[in-house]
């Protein structure tokens, strides 16, 4: 969707993020101020892309992406330490989909559309981050399936040893805490 459409749906997008990221492994205790700050950074990036999943006129899912160098300049050093240049990467911010709409291929489409946007913007590599929670985390639901297999099937591989921090307030906490984030990347093959 266009920047104007995404901005017009700002409240819906924030509500969707707050709803979906309450679940493990994010456990995000979302609030409007955090959302405004997060999404404002996003909207400022000139190359940002928002993919919306609509049921009629209702936003039921969304995926975002932006050139990594525009969005998170502070990642330059940890990337460089692994021989990677942030300016080569298109960064996928999030995919969020209301649970009743899952398992119909919308998540796969989110990847396809963002990879298409990356190629259109002449980026050869895509990357996204995922929170690392300890194996025995008390909030991990029984039978929880990590998305690793889903990501591998889309051609993404974890970047060994690359970990950065990202802060938000967990449910039940009074203040934000920094969480370790791992990175998954894929080199794209241009479509002729
Ligand atoms: C990540 C997320 C967006 C995936 O969405 P989804 O729409 O359920 O994913 P899909 O339906 O596209 O894919 C799930 C599986 O269903 C399969 N599938 C595709 N089309 C399908 C269809 N028509 N019917 C049934 N299954 C289908 C996919 O192939 C995939 O299986 P695979 O990995 O073995 O290929 C969703 O689970 C979500 O919002 N999770 C919470 C937030 C989150 O963790 N986000 C990621 C980090 S930001």
Determine, yes or no, domain membership for 44: yes
- Does residue 55 sit within a domain? yes
Nearest to 186 by CA among 155, 162, 159: 155
- Tens of pLDDT, residue by residue over 54-94, are 999 999 999 999 999 888 778 888 899 999 999 999 999 99
192 lies in a domain? no
CA-closest candidate to residue 16, choices 47, 54, 60:
60
In a domain, 92, yes or no: yes
Report yes or no on 168 lying in a domain: yes
Cβ atoms of residues 98 and 106 within 8 Å:
no
In-domain check, residue 21: yes
Tell me, what CATH number does 87's domain have?
3.40.630.30
Domain count across the chain: 1
Q: Is residue 9 part of a domain?
A: yes
Parallel, antiparallel, or unpaired for β 125-131 and 89-97?
parallel
80 alpha carbon – ligand 1 mean position (Å): 32
Mutation probe of ligand 1 site: the residue of 21, 66, 99, 107 with most atoms within 8 A of C-beta: 107
Tokens of 134: 């300890």
Q: How far is the CA of 110 from the centre of ligand 1 (A)?
A: 9
16: Cβ below 6 Å to ligand 1?
no
How many angstroms separate the CA atoms of 19 and 23, rounded? 8
Does residue 105's CB lie within 6 angstroms of at least one atom of ligand 1? yes
126 lines ligand 1 (CB under 6 A): no
- Low pLDDT (below 50) residues in the chain: none
The answer to whether position 132 is within a domain reads yes
Cβ of 65 closer than 6 Å to ligand 1, yes or no, is no
Residue owning tokens 């692994």: 82
Domain that holds residue 24: 3-187
Distance (angstroms) between ligand 1 centre and the Cα of 114 equals 15
129 lines ligand 1 (CB under 6 A): no
């Amino acid at each position: 969707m266009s920047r104007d459409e995404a901005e017009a749906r700002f409240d819906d997008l924030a509500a969707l993020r707050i709803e979906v990221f309450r679940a493990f492994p994010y456990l995000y205790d979302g609030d409007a101020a955090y959302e405004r700050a997060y999404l404002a950074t996003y909207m400022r990036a000139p190359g940002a892309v928002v993919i919306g999943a609509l049921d009629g006129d209702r936003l039921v899912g969304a995926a975002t992406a932006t050139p990594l160098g525009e969005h998170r300049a502070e990642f330059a050093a940890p990337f460089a330490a692994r021989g990677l240049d942030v300016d080569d990467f298109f960064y996928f911010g999030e995919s969020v989909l209301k649970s009743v709409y899952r398992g119909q291929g919308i998540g796969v489409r989110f990847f396809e559309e963002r990879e298409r946007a990356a190629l259109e913007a002449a980026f050869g590599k895509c990357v996204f981050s995922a929170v690392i929670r300890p194996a025995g985390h008390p909030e991990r639901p029984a039978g929880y399936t990590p998305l690793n297999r889903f990501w591998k099937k889309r051609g993404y591989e974890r970047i060994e040893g690359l970990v950065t921090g990202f802060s938000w307030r967990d449910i039940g906490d009074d203040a934000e805490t920094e969480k370790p984030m791992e990175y998954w990347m894929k080199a794209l093959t241009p479509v002729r």
